[in-house]
Amino acid sequence: MLPAAPAKVVVPPIKCQGIKTKLVPFIMRHVRWEGRGRWIEPFLGSGVVLFTVQPPRALVADTNPHIIAFYRALYEGKITPQHVQEYLTAEGRKLAQIGADYYYEVRARFNAHPNPLDFLFLNRASFNGLMRFNQKGAFNVPFCRKPERFRPAYVTKIANQVANVQRVMAGKTWEFRVADWRETLAMVRPEDFVYLDPPYAGRHADYYSRWGEEDAKQLAEVAAQLPCGLALSLWKENKFRRNPYLAAWASFTVERTFEHFYHLGATENLRHTMTEALLIKREYAVPRTAAPSTPEQLPLAFPTD
């Protein structure tokens, strides 16, 4: 099944920090897996890797219940592209008429009674495409200051992304869980493959639960004992510092690197080139002779639309 070069990356309808839209082809070319078991992701995030790899069987989880609820609703057919088109058209009309106050009305409604469509609205109308929750689990990102956000073409674009994801899901055996990564990794079998994309300790705030030094250390310890293949995405270094957590993976993985421009800064002097690492369990890594030998230059932005 892998390595593979996808004809097209399946762009998901949900956006979040660190989304791997521009990096999925790199990941798929450097990983070797025959596809006999399940593709397992304990940190689902936007879902872009899952939707582009398109495994027939998958177990995916996240601590963010709103991400899981949204994709489970798509998988079960409870939300369709037509639902999305009609909902965003109606809500977008109210946003255009009322402005920021309506965004905050929807945010309050969602925090009191969460539902997947309100989550999608907030995700696509929040400032700078951020996904952030406070310690009580309430979505707290401010408005993007674009009352005309949901123009017809933009709504159609999102509805089409939903349709693309549902086409990928059709006929597949996928399980969506709200779960801590430890619980998910306790369920792996030798024929599975685990892709890990944890929050970047020391660089990004997590989009729901907290992630710190102890979590990063424990993940490496557990991963080293897994009976199956695995790959991990992790930042490596920039002009200021190097990731101290890489060393914990060196004994059982090989490293492939790529570079991108880090756009998530308030001013230009805060935006720099970042080297990212893909760490792959040794026997599951494509040999360097069959893969790019130098870091790839990728203009990775953190999408706001």
Q: What is the pLDDT of residue 180?
A: 95
Q: What is the pLDDT of residue 82?
A: 98
Q: What is the pLDDT of residue 99?
A: 98
Work out the angle between the directed axes of helices 116-125 and 100-112 (0-180°, nearest 10): 140
Is the per-residue pLDDT at 27 higher than 50? yes
Q: Where in the chain is the domain with CATH 1.10.1020.10?
A: 81-165
How would residue 21 be classed by pLDDT, with cut points 50, 70 and 90?
confident
* Superfamily for the 81-165 domain: Adenine-specific Methyltransferase, Domain 2 (1.10.1020.10)
Q: Which of the following CATH numbers is that of domain 24-63+179-298: 3.10.450.50, 3.50.30.30, 2.60.40.10, 3.40.50.150?
A: 3.40.50.150
Can you read off the two tokens belonging to residue 98?
């009322």
DSSP assignment of 152-166 equals HHHHHHHHHHHHHHH
pLDDT digits (tens, 9 = 90+) for 129-138: 889 999 899 9
Query: Who has greater pLDDT, 183 or 130?
Result: 183
Q: What is the pLDDT of residue 296?
A: 45
Mean pLDDT lowest for which of 65-79, 204-218, 256-270? 256-270
Mean pLDDT over residues 169-194, rounded? Answer: 98
Q: What is the pLDDT of residue 289?
A: 72
Can you read off the two tokens belonging to residue 112?
């009191």
- b/e map of 87-124 (b: 16 or more CB within 10 Å)? bbeebbeebeeeeeebbeebbeebbeeeebbbbbbbbb
Closest to 31 (Cα-Cα) out of 2, 11, 59, 51: 2
Q: What is the pLDDT of residue 291?
A: 57
- The pTM assigned to this predicted structure is 0.90
Q: What is the pLDDT of residue 294?
A: 41
Mean pLDDT, the chain, as a whole number?
Answer: 89
Q: Where in the chain is the domain with CATH 3.40.50.150?
A: 24-63+179-298
Q: What is the pLDDT of residue 1?
A: 86
- The span from the CA of 181 to the CA of 222, in Å, is 10
Closest to 209 (Cα-Cα) out of 66, 58, 12, 108: 66
Size of the chain in residues = 305
Is the per-residue pLDDT at 268 higher than 80? no
Helix (H/G/I), strand (E/B), else coil: 171:
coil
Mean pLDDT over residues 139-151, rounded? Answer: 97
Is the per-residue pLDDT at 251 higher than 60? yes
Closest to 184 (Cα-Cα) out of 26, 42, 72, 44: 42
Residues near 285 by beta carbon (within 8 Å), at least 6 away in sequence: 30, 31, 32, 253, 254, 256
Mean pLDDT over residues 203-214, rounded? Answer: 67
